[in-house]
Amino acid sequence: MKKLLIMIISLLVLVGCTKENYEIVLPKGIDIIAVGSEFVDKGCSVFNETEEFEMDVFSNSVDVNTLGTYHLIYKITVKGDTFTCARVVEVIDTTSPIVTLNPGIDTIVVNSIFVDASVGVSDNVDQSPTVTVISTVNSSEEGDYTVTYIVTDTSNNETVVVRNVHVIN
């Protein structure tokens, strides 16, 4: 009887010492967002067969107004065991620059000088996008010509605007 009692107590102690198996779940979320957009954190949790625990945000460096790669770290301690989880969020620029033709004289007489009025440019992130100008204007020959403005920001978003120039006799 004494041996049976010792075996039962030993079994109870061993069952009580068994470490539970936990699974970490990082819900699918939007991990790539456009600059200036709202970021909705889907969190992270840890669970076993009977319980689920929502992890606390341990570190959050996400800045939705600045391009870059950010890390969210989640952490929780359950019954003496510490669990961590990480989410990587990338803030990108998907908006093309805004380009407006400046007012100018787009009809000139043959052999006169064409003065390009250029374009006005603004961008949601880049303070000085690159402007490339391609002109086919030949003021010594009558005809219709184009001046093409290709505006590119640092995220390689591009806007193309064309000015039509008429050379008349």
Q: Where are the domains of the chain?
A: 21-92, 98-168
Confidence band for 144, pLDDT divided at 50, 70 and 90: very high
**Class of CATH domain 21-92:** mainly beta
**Number of continuous H segments (helices) and E segments (strands) in the chain:** 1, 13
21-92 and 98-168 agree in CATH topology: yes
pLDDT digits (tens, 9 = 90+) for 67-111: 999 999 999 999 899 999 999 999 999 999 999 999 999 999 999
Residue pair 55/81 in contact (Cβ under 8 Å)? The answer is no
- Dist. CA 88–CA 20, nearest whole Å: 28
Q: Which helix (H) or strand (E) segment is 7 a member of?
A: helix 2-17
- Domain 98-168 superfamily per CATH: Immunoglobulins (2.60.40.10)
Supply the pTM of this predicted model.
0.73
The mean per-residue pLDDT over the stretch 28-40 comes to 89
Whether residue 14 is predicted with pLDDT greater than 80 in this model: the reply is no
The mean per-residue pLDDT over the stretch 118-131 comes to 96
